[in-house]
Amino acid sequence: MAVTIRDIARIAQVSHMTVSRALNNSPLVKEDTKEKVMQIAQQMGFEFNASARALCTKSTGCIGIVYSLRFIDPRNSQYTITFLHEIQGTLEQMGFDSILVSLFNVNTGQSNAKRLAMQQKVDGFIFISSLLDDETVALLEQKQIPFVYVDPTETIPTTQKVSVYATNNVMGGMLATDCLIEKGYCKNPICMSLSQQDSQINISDRIVGFEKSMKNHGLSVTPASIVRVGPGAIFDLGYRYIQLHIKQLLQNKVDGIFAVADLLALGILAALKERAIDVPGDIRIVGYDNTTIGTYFSPRLTTIHQPREQLSLLSCKKLVSLIKTYRLDNTVYESIPPKLITRETC
């Protein structure tokens, strides 16, 4: 038999209105009463009827997590897949369900964010590595559906009032290159990037970090210092580049490689091992993302850890606060520092 609000009210010895307000986190109910009601509800196995709650409170208890399709392909991004799970887990801890969708419907090309907003299926959105057009932003503002950006790959238009949380990728590029030069004693490191993603600010900022570190250490940055590969599966790009250009790299006395993504670094590592080139003895490698797969290779990959835990917590907290009090003027831009994870390739 289904547990009702009246059943909870009887055991908690409060009115059914108090129980309803407590379950909906109303500020009209004292915190100790809320805690007591929630504990009883959980013990009795009470479950919300989502449709009924939406009608009564205009709240769905659900957040839309929107990503760009190009970052969900496991051949090209291990980090994004892990980060999506991190966001979902954080929302669950905060009592929210989530709907995970791509920015556009692959079959119709229509905006999934628009569809969910029009159907009133979510209370807010978290956009990961993707930006909205002004028309969709205007729709969300009209319906007072808040959203935040996490690690956007493009510059935010000045017309959009939105909170943004991002990794400090310039710092990440510097940390990686500092590791090669200071810990690895590299005299001629190079940066390997992705040609089809040069316009993305998170990737290009990592190159900026590489250039800054080189200059800080008195090393020259030449056209040969930055290699751009692509398009294609990222692991394969690193692997093929080494196969085709290893003689040139050795002739140029390249002794370190900063790869802007772990999969790229692992492709490089695999090809170097096939050529019997010692890593880190002959060439040192630092990746970027700190994906789990980097610990499965030998030697284990030194990399830059993107602060996905902080990004997840901060963005979710901000969105929940915007859901409770919708204020477009209360926006933030927070850049979170990454950190170096030293293993065996540098």
Please report, as a single letter, which amino acid is at residue 30: K
* pLDDT for residue 226: 95
CA dist 323 and 59 (Å) reads 9
Q: Which letter, b or e, does each residue of 325-338 get, where b requires 16 or more Cβ atoms within 10 Å of its Cβ?
A: eeeeeeeeeeebeb
- Is the separation of the CB atoms in 164 and 332 below 8 Å? yes
Give all domains of the chain, ordered by start, each with its CATH number: 5-47 (1.10.260.40), 62-167+308-338 (3.40.50.2300), 169-305 (3.40.50.2300)
Tokens 């140029």 sit at which residue? 252
| Residues contacting residue 149 through CB under 8 Å, at least 6 positions apart | 127, 131, 156, 162, 163, 164, 165, 166
Helix-helix angle 16-23:31-43, to 10 degrees:
90
* pLDDT for residue 47: 61
* pLDDT for residue 240: 96
pTM above 0.85, yes or no: no
Burial class of 222 by CB neighbour count within 10 A (0 to 12, 13 to 18, 19+): exposed
- For the chain, give percent helix, strand, coil, nearest 5: 45, 15, 35
* pLDDT for residue 299: 96
Given a cut of 50, the residues of the chain with pLDDT beneath it are: 50-52, 54-57
* pLDDT for residue 54: 47
- Is the separation of the CB atoms in 188 and 204 below 8 Å? no
